[in-house]
Amino acid sequence: DLFGPRFCSPCDIKDLFCTALGVPRNTNLSLLDPSGEELFQNVLTQVAEQFSRAFKINELKTEVSNRLAMLEKRVELEGMKVVEIDKCRNDIRNLREEMISRNHRYCSFLEDNKKLTPRRDVPSYPKYMLSQQTIEALKKPAFDVWLWEANEMLSCLEHMYHDLGLVKDFNINPITLKRWLLCIHDNYRNNPFHNFRHCFCVTQMMYSMICLCSLQEKFTQVDILILMTAAVCHDLDHPGYNNTYQVNARTELAVRYNDLSPLENHHCAVAFQIFSQPDCNIFSHFDPEAFKQIRQGTITLILATDMARHGEILDSFKQKVDIFDYTDEEHVTCLKMVLIKCCDISNEVRPMEVAEPWVDCLLEEYFMQSDREKTEGLPVAPFMDREKVTKPTAQIGFIKFVLIPMFETVMKLFPQIEEAMVQPLRESRDRYEELKQIDDAMNEVGEHVKPDHRREEEVNTV
Ligand SMILES: [Zn+2]
């Protein structure tokens, strides 16, 4: 009510008019009406009312827009509440599902080492259904290790522990077994070769040998448990660069283990770090003596996988094999060491279609190392050098001078491996020798066809 009598006197209005007209305030204003001031007052009152109404409309506008804003805010808030409620509902549903699935789940841990703390999706149950056909095939060296996803390999490993009677005989908690295996999986790196599938291959070959050689009739269940567990753990957290690199590059591992089998020591240490977590310790209920025996046995086997010790271990075994005594602990330990060595390098025992891709994986890992050695100015082993090695040359020597002599020695104790394991090795050797002859012939042709190119290459390498 700005222009009402409370706020505006007629004088104020007159001043306003004068200002608007640009005349001095004391100018006499006349509305040219004979009744004079009365009319002026009326006009002013009407003007004031018009203004007042206009201002009221503005007030109303302000109020309406304030109210609108408030309503909008409320709608927004209510909307947020709806979203919140929906979110809560989802959270509750997820929580309920998680609680339901808890029983089927592998565990998660809280640990400073990131790799020891698996937090991952858990494979759904159907993955764990192994067909009877798979279960039978799993016992043979010809098992196709490429057909399976990680979940399925985990399921196979789990099956082996059950099938060998280890879960029953040692009263292993089956849930802990699942959690332990998942943790093992998470602690293998995605290297081209030294990855979880390699772990699976080695363990599956061990299982095959246990079945094929009826090792359960010769060994105690403790020995079987050690053989399987060492196979599962034998390359844990492998960085993809071998001991030679570790030593030459003076890596943390080489320094920690004083250049003595740094990788194998590390695999073993990681294995027992995992067992130190109660949720993953399949031996948690073992009495201290039993645990000590398992621990010592596992360490011995994992350390035996260092190929730098190949000659030493095989020679020791050769001395015992003709007079082998299963009651002699030293003999048994030596045999177990040779068995894990056999399994570790057993890819060429598998059918050609299964074995060959592993050569590419190994060379990929080797080339990764030799490339790095070249850039770091470290010595490069010829068998790792992409300029010098081919698939046949990489395999022939290894099969002839490492694999066949070792498996033929084991064959003296277990003649049944000749057909299933040694024969495939001989066939693989012959196949790679043929491939090498073809390679050599091609190179010879290449030399005649492109002499200038060859010479150019030679100049470049000089
Ligand atoms: Zn290995």
Structure tokens at 127: 């993955």
pTM for the whole thing? 0.71
What pLDDT is recorded for position 115? 54
360 assigned ligand-binding residue: no
Q: Which of 159, 162, 194, 266 is catalytic?
A: 194
Is 200 assigned a ligand-binding role in the annotation?
A: no
Q: Give me the pLDDT at residue 74, please.
A: 74
Q: How far apart are CA 345 and CA 231, in angstroms?
A: 12
Quote the ligand 1 centre to 344 CA distance (angstroms): 5
Alpha-carbon distance of 166 to 189, in angstroms, equals 27
Low-confidence residues of the chain: pLDDT under 70:
1-10, 13, 17, 29-41, 43, 78-89, 91-93, 96-128, 448-462
C-alpha 201 – ligand 1 centre gap (Å): 9
Interval 400-412: pLDDT, tens: 999 999 999 999 9
Tell me the pLDDT tens digit for each residue of 193-233.
Answer: 999 999 999 999 999 999 999 999 999 999 999 999 999 99
Residue whose pair of structure tokens reads 């001989």 in the numeric block = 426
SS3 label, residue 436: helix
Known binding residue 196? Answer is yes
Active-site residue, 310 included: no
Of 341, 339, 355, 364, nearest to 417 (Cα)?
339
pLDDT at residue 462, rounded to an integer: 33
- CATH number among 2.40.100.10, 1.10.1300.10, 3.40.50.620, 3.30.565.10, domain 117-241+274-443: 1.10.1300.10
For residues 172 and 267, give the distance between their C-alpha atoms in angstroms, rounded to a whole number. Answer: 23
Residues sharing a CB contact under 8 Å with residue 91, sequence separation 6 or more, in sequence order: none
Query: For residues 183 and 118, is the Cβ–Cβ distance under 8 A?
Result: yes
**DSSP 8-state secondary structure symbol assigned to residue 198:** H
Q: What is the pLDDT of residue 334?
A: 98
Res 32: pLDDT: 57
In this prediction, residue 340 carries a pLDDT of 98
pLDDT of residue 112: 42
User: Residue ranges per domain, the chain?
Assistant: 1-102, 117-241+274-443
Q: If DSSP codes are grouped into helix, strand and coil, which group holds residue 84? A: helix
| Spacing, Cα 57 to ligand 1 middle (Å) | 87
- Ramachandran category for residue 259: left, alpha or beta (phi over 0 → left; psi -120 to 50 → alpha): left
- DSSP assigned state of 173: -
